[in-house]
Amino acid sequence: MAARDLVAAMTPSWEQAIYLFLGIWSVWFVGLSIQRLWLSPLAHIPGPKLAALTRLYELYYDIILGGQYTFKISDLHQKYGPVVRISPSEVHVKAHDFHSELYASPIRPRATWNFWTRQFGAPYNDLATIDHNHHELRRNTPNNFSSNQQACNLQSVIEERVDALLHAFARYSNDVPGVPLNLMYPFSAFANDVINEYAFARSDRLIEKSDFGAQVTDSLLMGTRMGPIVKHANWALTFVNILPESLSGRLAPGWSGFLKMQHDILAQIQEIKASEKTEKWRLYIDHPTIFHELLSSAELPPEEKTSARLAQEGQILLQGGTLTTSWTISLAAFHLVNKPSTLRKLRDELFAAFPDPAEAMPLAKLENLPYLRAVVKESLRHGIGTSGRLARISPDETLVYEDAESGKEWTFRPGTVISMSPYMTVMDKSIFDDPLGFHPERWLEEGETLDKYLDIWGGGTRGCLGRSLAYAELYLMLAKLFRRWGGAGVVDGSNEGDRRLGDVGYLKIFETTTRDCEMASNHFIPISHKVSCLSSRVLARMRCADHDATGQQRITVPPRSLLAEQR
Ligand code: HEM
């Protein structure tokens, strides 16, 4: 009896329990605040106190306002200078001359940060690998795979898909003349087919589908839109993953398509694994898939060759290889048609270099056409690449940044999380005059001096793996498209463009303005305005030349059968 009384006396009431909890929480909160605001090695870095105190500050801009933190960080730099503390453990630097110091050469190890890599939802992937040496090990095999030489070797694969797309454009404009087409989908189908063919030696041939496989693009976009949520609340991904697929597909629109992509990749890996040491494996010698490369690598230990890990490599290749490139091509097409003076110059150059439209277009020759090269660079600048920041940690080297303007020196201890954003360089007025304008000429006038500011590929040993492939796709697509198709201004607006005898057709802009194409939010890749209807990023009405409603120029049109013969 006495013991029971003692237990009862010691058991706190609900009220007491709440006070106890609040007391402990307050002590913890005060301690944490003192540590973050005054004792942290980052305490001397300027920035908003709230950002230094809690990650909820970043969450507010990322999730509540929807991908707005990049813009907020820009504002913070205006207020606090080139070095700003943007979260309890992250410093952001806006100073291009620090880029080579932060991203550094391979002999200066750079790790990355697990909070930052969570957004990719693929923790075993190369891009998400934290440790420098581990990343090197994983990266080494696909690095050989994605060399310049490999992109050249696969020129025929890329060209075949470009031709297929131009054929699909002609078919579309004949079948439904004047009906607008959202160009993002066909260009995304193109990039997706190429990366599938390039890395997995197979293709869903989205270009041939009547809607250009729009669901695949939407699923990939949905994956990137989940990024900020997964970064701040990683459990959300675990939760969605443990739900039955029929339910998770309904909760997150586009998720079913994303899961299908993952299943397809896994199925292919299992098929390839099963074919090891058989005749089928040998059939791939001419065009090995990334999985053949990884599985036969002598450097990679068995734990690096599990199906789950390989599937994540495949997933990031598909995501990285589709949306970035296709968005850049969409922007190039939009801006060229929207600014006829640039289209005219490009077409003059293409017509002079390739008098016969059916002539082969070797990549090496295209890369040496100055105006085309300038158009590609300007489009990449507008595309930004990854609109988010790229974080690095120097594990054992102290980094120093000296602000030339103020003479102030900043020292970052080993282990400090430091990030920079390509967006802030490529949209910097002091480097690129009228940064939102489309001016390929700047790359001709200022020669190679601007090249170092086009840092959209990231840097150091972790820089983009698909750079050569992306360049090859951009050159071939833009050259072939605008050698055969002209531009005709804006639907219900100006008819000014560039239409020439022999053109297969022309592109006209439909309900899209330059502002619509500007970055409106960051979901690791830039998402443009018209956020509510992502699908309307760039619209172009297409017509084969005989459907020319303006009557300005009647051009003999190749009938569909002739188009097919030309190929
Ligand atoms: C316009 C086109 C593209 C742009 C602007 C771009 C940009 C980038 C950037 C900024 C990074 C992060 C680099 C870093 O952390 O320093 C990256 C990584 C990556 N990209 Fe691209 N990318 C493009 C196209 C492609 C293509 C076509 C592929 C497919 C082969 C690809 C595959 C990858 C992969 C696998 C990584 C991770 C590399 C690693 O961590 O080792 N990208 N890309």
Tell how far the Cα of 50 is from the centroid of ligand 1, in angstroms: 33
Average pLDDT over residues 319-337: 93
The tens digit of pLDDT for each residue in 72-108 reads 999 999 999 999 999 999 999 999 999 999 999 889 9
- Tell me if residue 304 falls in helix, strand or coil: helix
Which residue do the tokens 């010698």 mark? 285
Is 533 annotated to bind ligand? no
Ligand 1 atom nearest 322 alpha carbon: 27
Spatial contact of 421 and 388, defined as CB atoms under 8 Å apart: yes
Q: Helix 184-200 to helix 214-232 angle, to the nearest 10 degrees?
A: 80
Q: Whose CA is nearest to atom 17 of ligand 1?
A: 464
In this predicted structure, what is the pLDDT of residue 144?
Answer: 54
CB atoms within 10 A of CB 273: 14
H or E segment and range at residue 87:
strand 83-87
Tell how far the Cα of 509 is from the centroid of ligand 1, in angstroms: 29
Pairing verdict, β 519-523 and 399-402: unpaired
How far apart, in whole angstroms, are the C-alpha atoms of residue 416 and residue 425?
22
CA dihedral over 554, 556, 559, 565, signed as positive or negative: negative
The tens digit of pLDDT for each residue in 280-308 reads 766 666 666 788 888 888 889 999 999 98
Among 305-309, 404-408, 412-416, 560-564, whose mean pLDDT is lowest? Answer: 560-564
How far apart, in whole angstroms, are the C-alpha atoms of residue 291 and residue 269?
7
Q: Whose CA is nearest to atom 4 of ligand 1?
A: 385
Residue of 326, 464, 476, 523 to test ligand 1 pocket, by largest number of atoms within 8 Å of CB: 464
Hey, what are 219's tokens?
């699923």
Spatial contact of 75 and 51, defined as CB atoms under 8 Å apart: no
DSSP letter for each residue of 329-346? HHHHHHHHHHSHHHHHHH
Q: Whose CA is nearest to atom 43 of ligand 1?
A: 464
**Nearest CA to 346 among 240, 421, 441?**
441
The tens digit of pLDDT for each residue in 334-388 reads 999 999 999 999 999 999 999 999 999 999 999 999 999 999 999 999 999 888 9
In this predicted structure, what is the pLDDT of residue 560?
Answer: 26
Ligand 1 atom nearest 384 alpha carbon: 5
- What's the pLDDT band for 152 if we cut at 50, 70, 90? low
Write down the number of H helices and E strands in the chain: 25, 12
How far apart, in whole angstroms, are the C-alpha atoms of residue 140 and residue 478?
31
In this predicted structure, what is the pLDDT of residue 147?
Answer: 61
- What's the pLDDT band for 419 if we cut at 50, 70, 90? very high
Spatial contact of 387 and 518, defined as CB atoms under 8 Å apart: no
Q: Whose CA is nearest to atom 40 of ligand 1?
A: 127
Ligand 1 atom nearest 470 alpha carbon: 27
Pairing verdict, β 485-490 and 505-509: parallel
Tell how far the Cα of 235 is from the centroid of ligand 1, in angstroms: 26
H or E segment and range at residue 319:
helix 307-338
Hey, what are 556's tokens?
């003999």
Phi/psi at 414 (5° precision): -55, 145
Q: Is the pLDDT of residue 2 over 80?
A: no
Task: Give the binding-site residues of ligand 1, using a 6 Å CB cut-off.
Answer: 126-127, 139, 146, 195, 316-317, 320-321, 324-325, 328, 380, 383, 385-386, 390, 456-459, 462-466, 469-470
Q: Whose CA is nearest to atom 41 of ligand 1?
A: 462
- Check residues 542 and 517 and name the one with the higher pLDDT: 517
- Ordered alpha helix ranges (H), 244-306: 245-251, 255-274, 279-283, 290-296
In this predicted structure, what is the pLDDT of residue 542?
Answer: 60
Ligand 1 atom nearest 386 alpha carbon: 10
In this predicted structure, what is the pLDDT of residue 259?
Answer: 82
DSSP letter for each residue of 458-507? --GGGS-SSHHHHHHHHHHHHHHHHHHEEEEEETTS---SB--TT-SEEE
Tell how far the Cα of 463 is from the centroid of ligand 1, in angstroms: 7
Is ipTM strictly over 0.90? yes
Tell how far the Cα of 545 is from the centroid of ligand 1, in angstroms: 38
Q: Is the pLDDT of residue 504 over 80?
A: yes
Phi/psi at 507 (5° precision): -105, 140
Tell how far the Cα of 414 is from the centroid of ligand 1, in angstroms: 26
Spatial contact of 224 and 534, defined as CB atoms under 8 Å apart: no
The tens digit of pLDDT for each residue in 163-191 reads 999 999 999 888 888 788 888 899 999 99
How far apart, in whole angstroms, are the C-alpha atoms of residue 335 and residue 537?
12
Tell how far the Cα of 466 is from the centroid of ligand 1, in angstroms: 6
- What's the pLDDT band for 530 if we cut at 50, 70, 90? low
